[in-house]
Structure 1
Amino acid sequence: MTLTLVRHQFTVKQYHQMAESGILTENDRVELIRGEMIDMSPIGTRHAGCVLFLNNLLALLLGGRALINVQNPLELNETSEPQPDIALLKPRADFYRNSHPQPEDIFLLIEVADTTVKYDREVKIPLYAEANIPEVWLVDVNQEIIEVYRNPIDEIYQDVKNLGKNQVLSIQAFPDVNINVSELF
């Protein structure tokens, strides 16, 4: 006899209701991925420093052309509300006070990883492709490389490249913004 485990899938609406009712608190470091609540890894110093550096660098380079959203939720669909390390968003007068950003609001997502590289690459990046996010960077602080994902077609990124030290990276939505990968590490 084979035992099949049934998992309860949550919607974003149910996830929000759990927070509103106090089942989930601000101290719960979870994100909703494909209907499942996933514990987020603790943030190490290299990870935190890289996110802080990127936040400051992007603010300087973009000069207000995009909103920089740091470790806040995005509502991708009815069952996924991830919290990427950085999201470059289209400016809105309400600064997204009335709703979390949706896929059409996103220029670029950045995931910084030290212990979660495999998870980010195999779970979150495909989720972003399915949501048609135009560009995603996976910053691997251990290998000191950036994986760049662009051009999602049929839920798969068509253009994938790895950039290492002394290579220059640009943002697809802002081609005038250039970053030397060496600066990040």
Structure 2
Amino acid sequence: MVAVFPQKHLTDIAEWHRMGEAGIFSPDSRMELIEGEILHMAPIGFNHAGHVNRLNNFLTLLARGKAVVSVQNPVQLGDLSEPEPDFLLLRPHADFYTTRHPVAADVLLLVEVSDSTLGFDRNQKLRLYATHAIPEYWIVNLIDNCLEVYRQPQDGDYLEKTVLSKADKLNLCSLPEIQVAVSDIL
């Protein structure tokens, strides 16, 4: 007897968009396409939501005129992934990305606010973002109350990894004139 194993059906962005347009998913569903797999996301808790609001409030002021702010919106990474990071700073675009989703080359900063998804954000998402050369990836780590900063993507990882506390400050690598006090976002 030959063993038969269940097989995954991986999908690409074109099929993902067709499924959305066909109304296959309920309007309140929270899902991402990561490396061809449709993943259900956990509901957003109040602490997570509040930290996303804080990032949005603070970094929008600092980036005004220098970047497009995108909150919990898709970014297309190749043909198999369309995550919805918590916060993005994107290269300025005349139409504010109304004619297409941003792609990796548009991203200046990508931020995930993380509590229940910390392991996923440190592993699968980190590899995904590094593989697509996202220049700067932050994890607002709500478990350990710190900011994890990842820079210099190479071969599916980041060469520079720094953990910062509320007492620290940093400048963005793509927008070095912007300095952030970690206490403002934690």
Does the 8 A contact of 2:58 with 2:184 survive in 1?
A: no
Q: 2:170 is matched with which residue?
A: 169
**Aligned positions, number:** 185
Does the 8 A contact of 2:126 with 2:157 survive in 1?
A: no
1:76 partnered with 2:77: yes
CA RMSD of aligned residues (A): 1.2
Q: 1:155 is matched with which residue?
A: 156
Structure 2 matches for 1:9-28, cutoff 5 A? 9-28=10-29
Structure 2, unpaired ranges of 5+:
none
Taking the aligned partners of 1:63 and 1:93, their CA distance within structure 2 comes to 14
Deviations 1:146-183 (CA, angstroms, capped at 9, x unpaired):
11110011222111111112011221111121122122
TM-score, reference length from structure 2: 0.95
Q: 2:111 is matched with which residue?
A: 110
Does the 8 A contact of 1:19 with 1:25 survive in 2?
A: no
Deviations 1:46-98 (CA, angstroms, capped at 9, x unpaired):
11111111111111112221001000001101110000000110111111111
| 1:25 CA drift (Å) | 3.6
Question: Aligned with 1:146: secondary structure?
Answer: strand
Does the 8 A contact of 1:47 with 1:113 survive in 2?
A: yes
Taking the aligned partners of 1:179 and 1:102, their CA distance within structure 2 comes to 25
Does the 8 A contact of 2:88 with 2:110 survive in 1?
A: yes
Structure 2 matches for 1:13-52, cutoff 5 A? 13-52=14-53
Q: 1:54 is matched with which residue?
A: 55
Structure 1, unpaired ranges of 5+:
none
Taking the aligned partners of 2:50 and 2:36, their CA distance within structure 1 comes to 30
Does the 8 A contact of 2:77 with 2:103 survive in 1?
A: yes
Does the 8 A contact of 1:133 with 1:152 survive in 2?
A: yes
Structure 2 matches for 1:72-151, cutoff 5 A? 72-151=73-152
Q: What is the identity percentage for the equivalent residue pairs of Structure 1 and Structure 2?
A: 42
Does the 8 A contact of 1:132 with 1:152 survive in 2?
A: yes
| 1:3 CA drift (Å) | 4.3
| 1:2 CA drift (Å) | 4.8
